[in-house]
Amino acid sequence: MITESFLRSLPKTDLHVHLDGSIRIPTLIDLAREYHVPLPSYTEEGLRELVFKPRYADLAEYLTGFAYTGAVMQSEVALERCGYELAEDNQKEGVRYLEVRFAPQLHVHEHMNAVTVLRAVNRGLRRARDAFNRRPEVASGAEPRFEYGIIVCAMRMFRDNFSEYYRNLIRAHRYTPPKSIYAMASMELARAALIARDEYGLPVVGFDLAGEESGYPAVDHADAFRMAHRNFLKKTVHAGEAYGPESIFQAITELHADRIGHGMYLLDPAAIRDASISDREEYVERLSQYIADRRITLEVCLTSNLQTNPGMESLTQHSFKLLRQHRLSTTICTDNRTVSDTTVTRELMLAVKHLDLDAHDLKSIIVYGFKRSFWPGTYLEKRAYVRQVIDYYESLERQHLGEQSPPSLAAD
């Protein structure tokens, strides 16, 4: 029987978690007071009632909380603190590899550029990693160490109230078509990501595209992703979260996506909006076969999908079960620990309770999280780490599941 204590003990990954959506609420309140940022409430209970709710009307309401979290994360000290606390929160529930993503341009102003932002967050993550890895059980090799990577997010669209950086960019190019301005910002961010990785040695492992899908196609950002692709920076794209399969198609064909953020509508022909696609079932079949064959992993975020899709009444309606039946590569992620009030352990437990996740598939998706990570080290280092994780996982299986333990997995 899969229990919450077993899930908590397991080595896990979170490959899709937003820094600004995962700030501790007490930290949000502290920083708001320090930086004079008005909040609708200054208690955790009040903020959970007014901002961070169990359900939202739609994705737009879900994103309103980011205005508050982003407003307090405008200094190096605040960014470092948030990075440290996010890593610490993950460590406490058994997450051993974390890929934290955020949009540096939301924090850029006259005192900080994108590289400064990245360096500040990295200091917090690194400090938490080093403290954890000094523990005797980890330093001895008895347990897997904690590692992390940083994923840089470009925005599909933005408005002048998103940040000082975006406001200045829009004003400087007031006669330029908006989609060209969005593309400029993405290209500038790709350059900053490469500088942070290549000149400062930061573990910037991936480039992402986030934001509203409808009306803001991924192809507008193709130049920035082409730059990332040519410089061996891995790519993940938010797609199929609030739009149909054609959004996922653009992500893999135009942006060279190695993974897909969400991908909830991949197998839904009815979600296709492109009138030029006449045979929707065939389109979905060919797209899903392509993704399955190339093991393009879907970063599944159960709670946030339930919260932002009013048509989904319960998790039993989520496509995760169907994705697994098609043997697609999936991994369970949190998306936003605070906005969705969740953890990796909780997300896995939800899949067990509502989507019939058994011990075999549980093992598969957790191990695939490590295998399909954008590991910041060498391939051989990654193989050795994955092997250690599998061995440790299987030792915990024998303790908790006994004869019910699934067969051993290879590290390849």
Active site residues: 241
What DSSP character marks residue 328? -
- Written as six digits, the tokens of 315 are 């998790």
Read off the amino acid at residue 329: S
Q: Which residues contact 159 (CB under 8 A, 6 or more apart)?
A: 166, 170
Backbone conformation region of residue 154, classed left if phi is above 0, alpha if psi is from -120 to 50, else beta: beta
- C-alpha 215/C-alpha 283 separation (Å) is 21
As a whole number of angstroms, the distance between CA 324 and CA 302 comes to 14
φ/ψ of residue 106, rounded to 5: -75, -15
Nearest Cα neighbor of 85 from 134, 19, 137 is 19
Strand-by-strand arrangement of the 204-210 sheet? 12-18, 95-102, 147-155, 204-210, 234-239, 259-262, 297-300, 330-332
Alpha-carbon distance values, 78 to 74, 175, 313, 406 (Å): 7, 35, 37, 44
- The count of other CB atoms within 10 Å of the CB of residue 208 is 27
Residue ranges of alpha helices (H) inside 93-133 are 114-133
Cα torsion at 145, 17, 412, 257 (round to 10°)?
A: -140
- Which residue type does 67 have? A
Q: What is the dihedral of CA 133, 135, 137, 142, to 10 degrees?
A: 10
